[in-house]
Amino acid sequence: MSGQLLDHLANNLPALQIAVPLLSAAVCMVLRRGRTAWVLAMLVAWSSFASACVIFNRVVQHGAISYAEGGWRAPWGIELRIDLLNALVLLVVTAICAIVLTASPRSLDQEIWQENHSKFYALYLLCMTGLAGMTVTGDAFNIFVFLEISSLSSYALIAQGTTRRALTSSIQYLVMGTIGGTFILLGIGMIYMVTGTLNIADMAVQLAAVGPNRTVLVALAFICIGTGIKLAVFPLHIWLPNAYTYAPAIVTAFLAATSTKVAYYVLVRFLFSIFGAPLAFGALRLDAVLMPLAIAAMFAGSFVAIFQDNIKRMLAYSSIAQIGYMVLGLSLVSVTGLTGGLVHLFNHALMKSGLFLVMAAVLLRTGSVRLEAMAGLGRRMPWTMAAFVVAGLSMIGVPLTVGFVSKWYLVMGAIQAGLWPVAVLILLSSLLALIYIWRVVEVAYFRQPPDDAPEIEEAPFSMLGPIWVLAGATVFFGIFTSLSVGAASAAARMLLGVGQ
């Protein structure tokens, strides 16, 4: 009996990945006490992560999972389809959701009114629903709907920031995000006109038969720009620095590691699975557009980051540069390049959420995230700042950290493609990362705090734990690369249609 029940549960995991957070969000909304809502959200987030692990394991062992929503078979019904690519993304997203949520209570106590806590967790779960939904669905229109669910909740989450600047940042993001979402909707509509289907796998088959006519190319362009806005590809990134700077610290750690990653996944899915590499990079030469933009992002993002005194803003600009690396990997259109992009998705999620959680801890103890407030923090908050150094080294790409692994694949991809200058540019831009990380390290470790500085203690364990899980993961996956690189390279081979 219980075996049957477990079987039933296991077969419905893809749908539960969406349904459970969605329904729990409604429950959170009516709960009065913030802590009760947090316990519920924790339960949901960690069980989502557990089920993502089960799904990942099953996909690795038995191949892609197809789930017919409500028993209606694809291509008529809505299909949830999980292959190696989205299993990996789902794993990252749910892991980050759960870890950041674990660290949230103390930070929220500081930044958000007590009576709003349960609503905050409701929004958090809604955002998670949207992100998980975009990742698991096999239906193009579903991608738009879940994109809007996650976007609308993230606008509200960003607007919770303590200063009034959070409001203007949020509306700036809303306007751009809505234009992006609507572009994606328009693109999907055009593909539907040509193919008569919304199922991703079916679309791919039909589009291959149709070939590159003008409607298809225009659809591709609209979808590229739409996802480009959500992904914050240079020069469509202007919403990102403000949104990340003025959002509550927890929200920044959450969004920086999940929302742009899922947007990257959507872009990869559309370019490689639906349109196919020959169309996107042969008929339209998107690589010729994306590669210069990616390189520009790597330099512009890192360069601007060097001059920021607000460390949250500095990390936001560094995110733009890191997104550049991911897009560069994609635009190389080779197994090695795409592996590098996908591995960097995994790795950047770990290190950036770790760094932003460190900023949450610093904000909790010092009340500021400005550079001058960090003087002498290396001695006053040793564990927190040590985590910053570890994740920061990874951002630079030092060997034995995850950052090295992804840059290795990107450089190899560029060399294999015969693009020596690009390989050199990747290394040069890493030096810029060294400068902006070093600025913080120097102030934290080598500058004396002012004499009138108030006594501060180490961050609470509830935050230190998650921070070190992430910092530890950047080292662990930098040494044991079989999980991330194995899954990413298998996914890249699948996307490019190259045999094992």
Partner 1 sequence: MFEGGLYPYWIVIFLMMTGLYVVISRDNLVKKIIGLNIFQVSVIMFYIAMGKVQGGTAPIADAGITVFSNPLPHVLMLTAIVVGVATSAVALALVVRINEAYGTIEEDELREIERVEDAE
Residues at the contact surface with partner 1, assessed by CB under 8 A: 141, 144-145, 148, 152, 155-156, 159, 164-165, 167-168, 170-171, 174-175, 178-179, 181-182, 185-186, 189, 192-193, 198
| Residue closer to partner 1 (CB basis): 174 or 240 | 174
User: Under DSSP, is residue 82 helix (H, G, I), strand (E, B) or coil?
Assistant: strand
Sign for the CA dihedral angle at 185, 191, 195, 199 comes to: negative
- Longest alpha-carbon distance in the chain: 73
| Residue closer to partner 1 (CB basis): 76 or 480 | 76
Phi and psi at 480, nearest 5°, equal: -100, 90
Report the nearest approach of partner 1 to the CB of residue 198 (Å).
8
| Residue closer to partner 1 (CB basis): 114 or 168 | 168
Report the nearest approach of partner 1 to the CB of residue 175 (Å).
6
Could you write out the DSSP letters of every residue in 373-439?
Answer: GGTTHHHHSHHHHHHHHHHHHHHHT-TTSHHHHHHHHHHHHHHHTT-HHHHHHHHHHHHHHHHHHHH
Report the nearest approach of partner 1 to the CB of residue 152 (Å).
6
Report the nearest approach of partner 1 to the CB of residue 485 (Å).
38
| Residue closer to partner 1 (CB basis): 66 or 178 | 178
Report the nearest approach of partner 1 to the CB of residue 388 (Å).
26
| Residue closer to partner 1 (CB basis): 56 or 173 | 173
Take residue 332 and report the two structure tokens written for it. Answer: 């190389």
| Residue closer to partner 1 (CB basis): 159 or 316 | 159
Report the nearest approach of partner 1 to the CB of residue 149 (Å).
9
Report the nearest approach of partner 1 to the CB of residue 353 (Å).
25
CA distance 126 to 233: 25
Cα separations in angstroms, 7 against 1, 11, 73, 136, 444: 10, 6, 21, 20, 53
The torsion region of residue 68 among left (phi > 0), alpha (psi -120 to 50) and beta comes to beta
Q: Cβ distance 130 to 164 under 8 Å?
A: no
CA distance 334 to 304: 30
- Per-residue buried b or exposed e for 223-239, using 16+ beta carbons within 10 Å of the residue's own CB: bbbbbbbbbbbbebbeb
Amino acid at site 158: I
| Residue closer to partner 1 (CB basis): 144 or 404 | 144
Query: Which H or E element spans position 52?
Result: helix 34-62
| Residue closer to partner 1 (CB basis): 182 or 416 | 182
Report the nearest approach of partner 1 to the CB of residue 193 (Å).
5
